[in-house]
Structure 1
């Protein structure tokens, strides 16, 4: 854990607030360039599903590829992925990165309701497609009006389009452009349950029922990345000091939910009690996560829990407390 400090008091501070539903969790706090990490019920090197914080990572890789000249914001998905002349092929990367492309949350061809019921009843992974299956589903999609609308499908396609522009798979894009330069040794994109690392946790519902891991080649850019709290702390420090690739992804460029909530490339910025907070959260069948930054105060927080109950308000609260120390 080079450059990181284990702080049991940090976990104790959160334990009473999170309550019984979060008996296995980890936290990282970044203040003044220093990273403190702690865990309860799990070892510090345990790896968690980070859920839709994966979209934030895809946003960084998208911005980085734009800066390298490999892609441009005005390019369409169809210029990078073999989508033919379907409607999804016509949307621009910029619109997808801001959730304003008109793509639905999930493709109808994936039978999302049936999969949701299976998740609730049996704890099964509602994803698992490979890239070829994702592209086949995307070709059947009809676009909606281009108002802000959260889209898992959009970010699945965006990540693979960015990777194609770089001449890499998404897995290799994450490894070479993010993990290697930032020394993130536990952050990875498992394509199947058999690819999980030895420190992978099994997530549980808020009622304690075990859930299958959310893995899949297609899913990775939108919600399939896993990492330890130590690596998430390092990533947060890099976001604050500007050393992360594609750091411009954090900068808001469009309204997302009114003028008080704006969006960059996946990252949300909102005004909270007079301060700007840049953040993303994540939720899978058995995990919840939150990463937030007060960039003006050079302070950040990561919370990850091996249960699906939300940790959002606890993350906002801890970030506020740390900025007032």
Structure 2
């Protein structure tokens, strides 16, 4: 039994190496300014990024560089025209819409109920939230309205790389707003509490005020005046922009684009380029952009960080950096500037690894070598979930009273956790060999258990309905996740 288990484990571990997680790395391609490209590589570090499109603004002059590629079936070098999912940088442009409309007479203290009279608020206090409170995350609204269905969708998306929101339109966002209860609101209105729901609602409320939809308002007020022709809000059936980058997570899994166009004001379904966002940053920095006053800090979140309408300003030593970042399933973005020095930066990456650290280093804040260490959760998933089969291996050798149902249950749970480790482990920091070894441990345990299979009873006790959940539950989860991945 020991020899069979050892051979099975070794062969499986070797085969698993061919399908183990493969964290993205920056390829050799370089476009744009060579000196800037080299600085980007030094700032990014070794793993976790696939293609970075970067712009640096220095005293009004914009310099571009691209390193790596856009991924997908036909990978190409990235540059200032490569489209990326923008994510939450849209919250900054939504804040600029508020500032621009305020200059035309719309009061930032206007309550929601005046602009959205058709919404039937479950909690009347939600209707009293002002536009300024929404834009500065002081509304008390939750980050997202979490129901059992949205939680399940989000969890499945984490495992499968799918879109956690689906084609959520404006009405879905307004329905979530109407359903927010007093218990779901924050304990202290006026305290900064980051809310995607609040930013999405702000975009819809401003569009309602203007008598149009959010994309049309954004294009008329911000994009067209600044010549940002490559920035788009995609409807569910719209094709992705030509020449777009393909998103991946930090482990190299392809990620579906997010289609929640109803949340465009918060970053849903918005695509842009580093070239376009560099125009935005330059114009905000020099004060010529419509609604540029949105970047003025107005409210304090904590001693070193304040917020205006959408834009954050953080103190780094003696320097104030005004910024916003973005993160979707397979993309990370960052736009920032230091008005005092006249320097700004835009960084776009087509993996889920944050790019904020790269941007700060290019501004002279922070040190080279990649972003900080991984979340403890990612390390735990990689190191613990990979070896879930260890329990089956030990039981196969040490437990004299094994039964078939318990062995099947332990095997299926171990397979499920090995799958979880593959998708959620921190493989940019933990060698993928660890995952392959975990697969080998599971195979060794299964082989050892199979040598005793004929002698095992079906169940360790009387066969009742209580005997079946152990193997049935992981089987159902594996089937469900498999179907979700296939679809």
The structure carrying a bigger strand percent of its residues is: 1
1:100 aligns with 2:138: yes
Of 242, 256, 260, 2:287 maps to 242
Alignment of 1:224-243 (within 5 A): 224=268, 225-243=270-288
Contact 1:109 1:137 in 2 (8 A): no
Find the counterpart in structure 2 of residue 144 from structure 1. 186
Equivalence for 2:329? 285
Conserved? CA contact 1:255–1:261, under 8 Å: yes
Q: Which runs of 4+ in 1 moved over 4 A?
A: none
Query: What is the distance in 1 between the residues matched to 2:149 and 2:197?
Result: 13
Provide, for residues 147-196 of structure 1, a one-character-per-residue CA deviation record: whole Å limited to 9, x for no partner: 21100000000011111111121010111111111111101111225342
Structure 1: gaps spanning 5 or more residues: none
CA RMSD of aligned residues (A): 1.7
- Give the 5 Å matches for 1:124-163: 124-127=162-165, 128-142=167-181, 143-145=185-187, 146=189, 147-163=191-207
Q: CA deviation at 1:321?
A: 6.5
Q: Partner residue of 1:90?
A: 128
Equivalences for 1:1-325 in 2 at 5 Å? 6-18=32-44, 19-40=46-67, 41=69, 42-44=77-79, 45-69=81-105, 71-81=106-116, 82-87=118-123, 88-109=126-147, 111-127=149-165, 128-142=167-181, 143-145=185-187, 146=189, 147-192=191-236, 194-224=238-268, 225-256=270-301, 258-320=302-364
Higher relative contact order (CA 8 A, sep 6+): 1
Local SS of the residue matching 1:72: coil
Q: TM-score, with normalisation over the residues of structure 2?
A: 0.63
Q: Would you say the 8 A contact 1:105–1:150 is kept in 2?
A: yes
CA distance in 1, matches of 2:235, 2:107: 28
Report deviation, 1:90: 2.2
**Which digits, 9 at most, give the CA deviation of each residue in 1:237-278, with x for residues without a partner?**
11111111111110111111x232111011111110211111
**2: distance between equivalents of 1:163 and 1:194?**
21
Aligned mates of 2:43, 2:305 — CA distance in 1: 26
TM-score by length of 1: 0.93
Inter-partner Cα distance in structure 1 for 2:121 and 2:88: 29
- Count of residues in Structure 1 that have an aligned counterpart in Structure 2: 316
